[in-house]
Amino acid sequence: MTIQMRSLAVRHPLVPFRPAPDAAPRGGGVSRAARLLAAAAVAGALVAGLALPAVGGAGLAVISASDELNLAPADLVEPPLAEKSTVLDARGNVIAQFYEEYREVVPLDQVADVMRTAIVSIEDDRFYEHGAIDLEGTVRALARNLSSGGVSQGGSSITQQYVKQVLLNSAKTEQGKAKALEASYARKLNELRHAMAVEKKYTKDQILEKYLNIAYFGAGANGVQAAAKRFFGRSAARLTLWQAATLAAAVQSPNDTDPSRGAAYQKRLLERRDVVLDRMAELGKITPAEAAAAKKRKLGYRGTSLPGGCEASPYPYFCLYVRNEILTDPAFGKTPQARSRFLNRGGLTIHTTLDPKMQAAADRAIRRRVHASDNPMAAEALVQPGTGAIKAMAASRRYASPARRNEISYNAVADMAHGGLTGFQAGSTFKTFTLITALKKGMKPDQGLTAGAGYRAPGYSAFKDCAGGNVGDPTWTVTNDEGSPGFKTLRTGTWASVNTFFLELEQRVGLCDTVRTAQSLGIKRADGKPLREVETFTLGVNEMDPVTVASAYAAIGARGKYCRPMAITRITDRGGKDSVWRPQCRQALEPEIADATADILSGVFTRGTMRNVGGIGRDAAGKTGTTDAYATAWFAGFTPDLAGAVSIGDPRGSQRYKLTGVTIGGRYYGSVVGADLPGPIWKDTMLAALKGVPATSFHPIDRARFSGCGDGCAPRRPTGERDGDRGGDRGGNGDGNGQVEVLG
């Protein structure tokens, strides 16, 4: 067997080079002690069936044996470190962070010198002197291992520790992780081959930087920057001597000295910290007096909360929407696992649409009228017409996972695909889709029909779903909440929200066409199931979420241009590459149809169900919604600049726990309708959200197209009847078979 020597001596000011006392002079050969150590290393390696390099003397020579010992360097595949992804609002403020491992990668010059000195002193004090392996530490460990019959002492250099962490982090299975940590000579040899390659590829400072960023310090903190913030609430650049010694102490056994786990663990960490300080003094890196003073300091662990996760976000429902948008969209990865890695490990900067001013407006408006402790829950979404940008998502309940009393663990504002549940029946907000269908079929705002006090389908074939099936129910009579029957125009029937009028109108324009109008405006059930195409579709028997309803009404405000709800505008990866998301829009309605709809719905504030609430001082339109027997209540409205939808219902089950005889926000309600709570919440939100935003007017209605009453003019009006009689806006469950209970 031949042995070759190669000098790998390195000088560095951080750890001054000090040759061993019996080392040969610089110009001489390797000392006798070094040769003995080398021989011992090789002999031990042969006993173990392996080959180990030996380093010794002033020349720090690596001993590489013959080819059969296979000591050639092996390239190390170094995947990017898992880094946190940061979510920003529309103004660039951090609102959430996602991570599998909480880590912030920093360059070495952003780590305090004392931290670098402490970690080298305790983990590998000859780091800047030896090559891929420290002979003294290796032979010492080898002797202990041979005497114990196993691997009881590591003797690993910082380079080898870095290699082990890379292999551990690269493992995708529990079996792979176990292999990366197994106590075997095969694993040690594999680490050594990789370490040799790493030492050839990087400078010592580069290796130390990589090690400090990959090391786990305990308490959920990966990397020195995260550890400095978690332990002491400061950056790695500002660490003091006693703090640096504490972090250096934590690296050896981070789980056994995890200060977040209690007093016993903190005691072990404190004892280990003092060992580090003693070692630094022994090596001459600090004075004994400095060590003594530092040892008098308490542990000082602050346990700063780790940022990240929607629980920690000030806007948890929007955060959940963004998270689920990425986790369910194939554009972010072909598999769920790939998408999860993309979000939680990718070091992304995610720019979003959330407007903090509008979000604050929604939060305040809800808190003013609904308490978190109330059984009924309010939720609101704000969407920008013409882009689909979600500007705010708010709810009266606090988000937490797992949920405790008066908290919820799902997205109250969105559909199931974005972390929500089944939603609430939307009630009479769906009458708008029947109104639009009538306008599309040529009816005029002042054209109408006669509505009775009750409506019963003339036959099963009076209503057909889009598959051609007969879904009329001649056995069930739908009635109005209040108000007189009689002739109603599209305007007055909408303002008064007359149930029987809209069932007559839906029968005339066609159920399927009404369903298709709704679908063209993005309407889909919150639970992802097909829309229930039943006779009472117009009364809102389908369960919806505020984001979807607000987006549909935003399309009317954008003169018929529907835009898919949008939360993400741009994603910047760790390398600085930008991916931009633009609005996904299509013309769902003729602009003139949307204008006529807005014109009619604006009267809801002045002559309809919202007349006692009033408008917002600028062009606005909307529709109240109350489901059968007061199960849920809604308001959906829009301006050309902003649209919003508010729902309220009991998450325990809206059909079981109705909005009757309830106290909400400290006020008792015999029953709750759309104008009682959702309407005022919407109004307060809009007043604050649009403050300072120049008012945009609705486009005038096309009088040439929509004036007159065609073949549906009003008969002579009976004495005493006025346009705008309140007929009630109660919808939902009117078909007798639509009582789908919402479970929260």
Q: Which two tokens stand for residue 473?
A: 């129910």
pLDDT grade, residue 146 (50/70/90)? low
| Half-sphere exposure at residue 355, Cβ-oriented, CA atoms within 13 angstroms | 18
To which residue do tokens 């705008």 refer?
724
CB atoms within 10 A of CB 704: 8
**pLDDT higher at 16 or 243:** 243
End-to-end CA gap in the chain: 75
Element (H, E) at 150: none
Domain with CATH 3.40.710.10 in the chain: 424-560+585-731
What confidence score (pLDDT) does residue 1 get? 34
**Percentage of residues of the chain with pLDDT beyond 70:** 83
What is the C-alpha to C-alpha distance for residues 303 and 315, in angstroms, rounded to an integer?
23
Q: 424-560+585-731 domain in CATH 3.40.710.10?
A: yes
403 vs 668, residue with greater confidence: 668
102 has a pLDDT exceeding 60: yes
What is the secondary structure of 489-529 as a DSSP string? EHHHHHHHT-HHHHHHHHHHH-HHHHHHHHHHTT---TTSS
Question: Given this model, what pLDDT does residue 290 score?
Answer: 97
Give the confidence band of 259 by pLDDT, cuts at 50, 70, 90. very high
Q: Go through 163-194 and write b for each residue having 16 or more CB atoms within 10 A of its CB, e for each that does not.
A: bbbbbbbeeeeeeeeebbeeeebebbbbbbbb
Mean pLDDT, residues 457-482 taken together:
93
CB 677 within 8 A of CB 371: no
- Across 169-183, 547-561, 633-647, least confident range: 169-183
Measured distance CA(723)–CA(487) in Å, rounded: 10
341 and 170 Cβ atoms separated by less than 8 Å:
no
How far apart CA 350 and CA 85 sit, in angstroms, is 7
Helices (H) and strands (E) in the chain, counts: 22, 26
Q: Where in the chain is the domain with CATH 1.10.3810.10?
A: 99-295
Peptide bond into 402 cis (omega under 30): yes
Which of 723, 683, 117 lies closest to 366, judged by CA? 683
For range 459-479, the mean pLDDT: 96
Mean pLDDT is highest, among 139-143, 263-267, 720-724, for 263-267
Concatenated DSSP letters of 681-712: HHHHHHHHHTTTSPP-PPPPP-HHHH-S-TT-
**Taking the mean position of all CA atoms in its chain, how far away is CA 153?**
43
CA-CA-CA-CA torsion for 373, 374, 378, 379, nearest 10 degrees? 30
Per-residue HEC secondary structure of 233-297 comes to: CCCHHHCCHHHHHHHHHHHHCCCCCCHHHCHHHHHHHHHHHHHHHHHHHHCCCCCHHHHHHHHCC
Whole-number percent of the chain with pLDDT over 90 = 67
On the 0-12 / 13-18 / 19+ scale of CB atoms within 10 A, 231 is buried
Residue 402's pLDDT band, with cuts at 50, 70 and 90, is confident
> pLDDT (tens digit, 9 = 90+) per residue, 337-354?
889 889 988 899 999 999
Of 427, 601, 635, 434, nearest in space to 517 by CA: 434
Residue 587 has φ and ψ, to the nearest 5°, of: -80, 105
Which segment of 40-44, 267-271, 543-547, 656-660 scores lowest on mean pLDDT? 40-44
Distances (CA, A) of 437 to 478, 514, 639: 21, 6, 21
pLDDT in tens, 286-339: 999 999 999 999 999 999 877 777 888 999 999 999 999 999 988 888 998 889
Tens digit of each residue's pLDDT (9 = 90 or more) over 370-386: 999 999 999 999 999 99
Quote the tokens at residue 67: 């080819």
DSSP 483: S
Residues 6+ apart with CB under 8 A from 347: 80, 83, 84, 85, 105, 573, 574
What pLDDT band is residue 728 in, cutting at 50, 70 and 90?
A: low
Instruction: Tell me how long the chain is.
Output: 744
Q: Specify the pLDDT at position 135.
A: 60
Classify burial at 375, counting beta carbons within 10 Å of its beta carbon; exposed 0-12, middle 13-18, buried 19 or more: middle
Give the per-residue pLDDT at 250.
96
For residue 141, the model assigns a pLDDT of 56
- The pair of three-digit structure tokens given for residue 40, joined into one six-digit string: 């011992």
**At 205, is the secondary structure helix, strand, or coil?**
helix
Instruction: Find out whether 188 and 152 touch, Cβ atoms under 8 Å.
Output: no
Instruction: Tell me the three-class secondary structure of 422-463, residue by residue.
Output: CCEECHHHHHHHHHHHHHHCCCCCCCEEEECCEEECCCHHHC
Tell me, what's the pLDDT at 137?
Answer: 60
Report how far apart, in Å, the C-alpha atoms of 741 and of each of 458, 649, 676 are.
29, 11, 23
Task: Point out which residues pair with 668 in neighbouring strands.
Answer: 663
543 φ, ψ (degrees, to nearest 5)? -80, 130
Query: Are the beta carbons of 85 and 348 closer than 8 angstroms?
Result: yes
Tokens 């050594």 locate to 192
Cβ neighbors of 336 (< 8 A, separation 6 or more) are 327
What does the DSSP 8-state code read for residue 91? T
Q: How confident is the model over 603-611, as a mean pLDDT?
A: 96
Residues 6+ apart with CB under 8 A from 365: 380, 681, 682, 684, 685, 688
**Domain spanning 99-295: CATH 1.10.10.10:** no
Amino acid at 22: D
Structure tokens at 379: 């939720």
pLDDT bin (cut points 50, 70, 90) of residue 132 is: low
Q: What is the pLDDT of residue 737?
A: 33
Q: What is the mean pLDDT of the chain?
A: 85
Strand pairing of 349-352 and 568-572? antiparallel
Nearest to 647 by CA among 660, 665, 659: 659
Query: What is the rounded CA–CA span in Å between residue 325 and residue 365?
Result: 27
Q: What is the pLDDT of residue 33?
A: 41
Give the span between the Cα atoms of 140 and 127, in whole angstroms: 16
The Cα 201–Cα 696 span in angstroms is: 62
Q: Is the pLDDT of residue 181 over 80?
A: no
Most confident range (mean pLDDT) of 162-171, 257-266, 618-627, 724-733 is: 618-627
Cα pseudo-dihedral 598, 602, 607, 610, rounded to 10: 120
Residue 472 scores a pLDDT above 80: yes
Give the model confidence (pLDDT) of 51-96 as tens digits.
344 333 333 333 333 334 456 788 988 888 888 899 999 999 999 9
Q: With a cut of 80, say whether residue 50 has pLDDT above it.
A: no
Q: Is the per-residue pLDDT at 43 higher than 60?
A: no
